[in-house]
Structure 1
């Protein structure tokens, strides 16, 4: 009996150990720098419950977050949707102390920064500004400090929708799997812009052989992701309510499919938002805001095309950004409209989602990033 109790105790300790050290970082439109803007929670990878670790005040509208490759630093688009504002900011995260500490900020090079990403070497940060349609590149020091921008490219041309596409609107900045190229979906111009990224140069953005890929007119390309095998890429189109699938090689995208993210029940006023692929490469998930407030679920075929599996309501309003944890076991969505966070457990065989844990309230939650620390 004693040996059995010891075994049970050992198993419980091991399960508790493996359930910890996974953290979810949430950004928001706090509208007031005197109230909390960035939130850090620990994800229990057995139950799916979230427990608050720390928060950050003194920063305005940290609407989008990304992490450094080593997880030591959190970078944020700050002063988003702030007239004459726009910054990128850096924070140091210490999981052993459960602290997130401000380091510094730099001007974003445009109003309304909406997306940023880091190079795999941890030495470069690339930011996209929505309102003016521009991209900025920053060196990052070893201590997480963001240096002033070394490049800022402004784009101007729009597309066919005068209300939404009067000019360029860069909505994301995504590196290719080998980090030799970077892709910039431009909602305003109906283009996915492409640059070579030569990280050894002082100004790493260089002209690509194919500078852009055209998307369907009026579609409004927004977020972009690559398949784990590096052979396929997918762009969610905010205004078109669709995902476009591409084969990919050496900086070149070739269209292979365009498929609706929404059910046939709706024919217009789409607000498709975010797109991610499960780590096993078998399923693609896409968020729909507005009419539907759900996650569309697709299986990925061997040729890279998508097949609709179903839809999962997000249990809230306006799911802006969502993320999968590194194991692919959980999907967490930020419902900006209803101000809540919902965790779903993912069935690895069917791809379907099931709500678990308790809802977390974060007013105007806008972004989530998830990382496991050793």
Structure 2
């Protein structure tokens, strides 16, 4: 079969046109007590690692942690307040054309200083952690993504070994397992990771205690966040107080600790305040952020057969107090939120070695949570 010359020219022209990268939306949660106005939106170009402002949703008090529905139609934020201004959860719809947010409603979180929130894949539930209240709360969702006015509140009790930091329960994260059947809850104050059965199809009571109900971490560990490996069989836990990363084997709601490694350099002797943890999309590396004098990202390699960890280096930061960071879906970039300094530092990630190269800083005040969609 012969192809007409003009078609050959057309195909050649098409081949010469570079494929345009799909722009990502980057939502930034902040503390609003200083210069921040609320939730910031940036359009992030994964081809260049650069970001352009897309607007700000103002009037949102301390949206310190965000989550998006799986389809991207809704965004949920905790309002990390306590005392005279109770903690709460805010729901928003997302404009599909430009990513801008429209406020839907806000309801109490049931405890002081909510600091984490996650949404079920089926768009029916959100589950949040109340750090100050030592509790977790689950809200069913309405068709438009707004919060239904009927919460399930679970209160933890007890205390840990550190009288200053662990005088009572401090729930720090609520993570839905990859199979969607359980919720793992890190309680920094009790040195425990609780397991709750999760019925995402329930109308009102979605959570119930599993058997066993929890796994204990090392005393004084202060479990804060966890991140699952892509294989779903392992997860990695960040101990805020110990500054250690622990790997766990996971199966059907049951957890077994495999290993712990220090996320700080051997010579570090300052205060420990580790924060966030993420696994690269290829499953080869786990990254952990360290605040205070350490102020870096720990890079840890993962054995693909056993899940065992080996320290692979540390990346110093230009921004200060890295409360939160994120890896873009392709795994090419890692972005770090500098709570104290302001700004989001963009790193390009070497997929083979896991090492990071700083590419620049996105200007935004008091960033503490980063989410891509």
Taking structure 1 as the reference length, the TM-score comes to 0.93
Deviations 1:170-206 (A, max 9, x none): 0000011101110110000010011010123320101
1:77 paired to 2:97: no
Aligned to 1:68: 69
Aligned to 1:131: 132
Does the 8 Å contact 1:63/1:80 carry over to 2? no
Aligned to 1:269: 271
Partners of 2:12 and 2:260 in 1: how far apart?
51
> Could you tell me which of 246, 250, 255 is aligned with 2:248?
246
Aligned to 1:313: 316
Deviation at 1:101, TM superposition (A): 1.4
Aligned to 2:94: 93
Deviations 1:263-316 (A, max 9, x none): 112235211000000111111000011111111011101201111100111211
Task: Sort the Cα spacing of 1:187 and 1:4 in 2 relative to 1 into closer, same or farther, 3 A.
Answer: farther
Partners of 1:12 and 1:319 in 2: how far apart?
42
Deviation at 1:83, TM superposition (A): 4.1
Q: CA RMSD in A?
A: 2.1
Partners of 1:115 and 1:8 in 2: how far apart?
51
Taking structure 2 as the reference length, the TM-score comes to 0.93
Structure 1 gaps of 5+ residues are none
Aligned to 1:338: 341
Does the 8 Å contact 1:35/1:58 carry over to 2? no
Deviations 1:10-38 (A, max 9, x none): 5686433x242x11100000127x96210
Aligned to 2:3: none
Task: Sort the Cα spacing of 1:81 and 1:363 in 2 relative to 1 into closer, same or farther, 3 A.
Answer: farther
Does the 8 Å contact 2:82/2:111 carry over to 1? no
Deviations 1:217-272 (A, max 9, x none): 11100001111101111110000000111111111110110110011122352110
Partners of 2:83 and 2:345 in 1: how far apart?
27
Q: How does 1:17-28 map to 2 (within 5 A)?
A: 18-20=21-23, 22-28=24-30
Partners of 1:140 and 1:119 in 2: how far apart?
10
Q: How does 1:104-253 map to 2 (within 5 A)?
A: 104-201=105-202, 202-253=204-255
Task: Sort the Cα spacing of 1:310 and 1:104 in 2 relative to 1 into closer, same or farther, 3 A.
Answer: same
Deviations 1:132-168 (A, max 9, x none): 1000000112211111243101112111111111100
Structure 2 gaps of 5+ residues are 1-6
Task: Sort the Cα spacing of 1:164 and 1:265 in 2 relative to 1 into closer, same or farther, 3 A.
Answer: same
Partners of 1:8 and 1:57 in 2: how far apart?
48
Partners of 1:6 and 1:369 in 2: how far apart?
40
Aligned residues: 366
Does the 8 Å contact 1:132/1:167 carry over to 2? no
Does the 8 Å contact 2:346/2:362 carry over to 1? no
Aligned to 1:329: 332
